[in-house]
Structure 1
Amino acid sequence: MKNTFLTIFLLITAFFSNAQDFKKYDRGSFNKGQDSINYRILFPENFNPAQKYPVLFVLHGRGESGNDNEKQLTHGAKLFLKDEVRKNFPAIVIFPQCSSDSYWANVNITTNDKGKRNFSFVEGGKPTKAMHALQGMVKDFLKKPFVNKEQVYVGGLSMGGMGTYELLRRQRKTFAAAFAICGGDNTNNIRKYKTVPLWIFHGGKDDIVDPAYSMAIAERLKTVGREVKFTLYPNANHNSWDSAFAEPELLPWLFSHKRD
């Protein structure tokens, strides 16, 4: 019984500690015309608006969609609060939130009678409501005097990985590098972001988004792209983002790139 109470106490302590840390991510929203999107933003320690900083947009998965402007911090946000990360990579980190009635990427999803999902990624096409708003938000941030336009990055997981590919092709001259975790895209879209250095991650046992999607993109980019890294975690399921965000070289690799 004593161990049970101790476990519950530790869980509650960890929960409130994380909530307290996440308060360092300021709340914001972008609203222009019909575009509306919430986001959380983490500024570097000792932020000086007279300086220019790298900016990273992190796109969440389907499970973190909504309008609470909080759930999108579930995966990845802790990484950027670490003391060594804040010290070594002083950057502006932004977590936008996709509304529940939209999707980052333009993709058709079907489920068979066994519950297996199939993703049919659109070649070209118009952006979703969420993607259109995200594009507007990104363009708005690029106007800020404290943003280094040579160091703008994007990354995402699952639905956010799919959104990463789509944002890259829709704003192909914006990003210096990107990472995509357990995502996917129509391989015919690759030519539109082949010049962007990309690190792709996937779990070998992913039963939600087939790792074949990432493999196909990586293989195609290796023949036509500028720089592509592909990491497959053989025993990981859909939560390969845990391993990806724990990669010691992820942030050094990402922030080492500058847009030509």
Structure 2
Amino acid sequence: MRLLPLICLLACLPPVLAAENPGKGKATAFVAPATKLPPMVKRLGEPGAKGGLDYLVYLPADYEQDKAKRWPLVVFLHGAGERGTDVQLVRKTGLTQTLERRGTTPYVMIAPQCPAGGWWDTAALDKLLDQTLADYRVDQRRVVLTGLSMGGFGTWKWGAEHPERFAALVPICGGGKPETVASLKGMPIWGFHGDADNAVKLGMGQTMVDAAKKAGADVKFTIYPGVGHNSWDKAYGEPELEGWILGKKK
């Protein structure tokens, strides 16, 4: 009988998600954060199929109240550390974490998970965006793409390949091939980088920004003095960023 209270207590504990501890090579517990903004988990394609993606969907609290309203859409691409087969890891950092801590979102947001060991596949992302536009009431003129680190590279790449799909880009501590951004003429871009970033050097971001400006993009570039690779906490915490995103329309 004494075991009953303990069993009840264990049943009430939140689920934990296995995450690798690179320092000791042992599995550690990642506890899914308590949130007023729980995401839906969805999948594009069959499990294990090439081009398949698990992804999170965040909806505004009043999404169902006005059936005629079409919402802005933000696509968030995570960094290399959140790749894998457990989509809940995408909630650990970046814009997903920012929205969950706040508990509200003024736009629909999707956050796909890149498969383990992979890179952002823009063909798969195109299919995901098509599916999202079909599934949710979003304004196709107000789709904004953002990402951090590997996702910053993905933002530059996908945005340059299909600029017609996006109203604005927000690449954070990313880089890419400057010769690809000629297509971004007129594109609003707000980039962010830390000048002490040793993972993706500031020069990599600066090169992309300079090339985009030369191509005629409408570019802002915020550099954080003394900040290392994690410039995304500051970037997604910028008081003016959300209004900037919401104000963009093709």
If the TM-score is normalised by the length of the shorter chain, which range does it land in?
Answer: 0.7 to 0.9
Aligned to 1:39: 55
Match of 2:113 among 85, 97, 104: 97
Q: Identify if the C-alpha distance between structure 1 residues 82 and 208 changes in structure 2 by more than 3 Å, giving closer, same or farther.
A: closer
Q: Deviations over 1:213-249 (max 9, x none)?
A: 1111222222332310001111000011111111111
Identical columns (%): 31
Q: Deviations over 1:31-85 (max 9, x none)?
A: 1774200001111102124421111110000001011011112112132235585
Q: Which one scores higher on RCO, CA 8 angstroms, separation ≥ 6?
A: 1
C-alpha separation between the residues in 2 aligned to 1:152 and 1:176? 5
Q: Identify if the C-alpha distance between structure 1 residues 85 and 252 changes in structure 2 by more than 3 Å, giving closer, same or farther.
A: farther
Letter in 2 for 1:77: T
Structure 1 spans left out of the alignment, 5+ residues: 1-14, 105-129
Letter in 1 for 2:56: R
Aligned to 1:64: 82
| Correspondence list, 1:140-155, <5 A | 140-144=131-135, 146-155=137-146
Aligned length: 217
C-alpha separation between the residues in 1 aligned to 2:35 and 2:42? 17
Q: Identify if the C-alpha distance between structure 1 residues 137 and 245 changes in structure 2 by more than 3 Å, giving closer, same or farther.
A: same
Match of 2:212 among 205, 221, 226: 221
Letter in 2 for 1:72: V
The CA RMSD over aligned residues, in Å, is 2.2
Aligned to 2:24: none
Contact 1:67 / 1:100 at 8 angstroms: preserved in 2? yes
Aligned to 2:197: 206
SS of aligned partner of 2:243? helix
C-alpha separation between the residues in 2 aligned to 1:145 and 1:158? 28
Residue 68 of structure 2 corresponds to residue 54 of structure 1? no
Structure 1 stretches (4+) deviating beyond 4 angstroms? 82-85
Q: Identify if the C-alpha distance between structure 1 residues 63 and 188 changes in structure 2 by more than 3 Å, giving closer, same or farther.
A: same
SS of aligned partner of 2:96? coil
Letter in 1 for 2:89: K
Q: Deviations over 1:183-233 (max 9, x none)?
A: 001110111223321111111011111110111122222233231000111
Structure 2 spans left out of the alignment, 5+ residues: 1-29
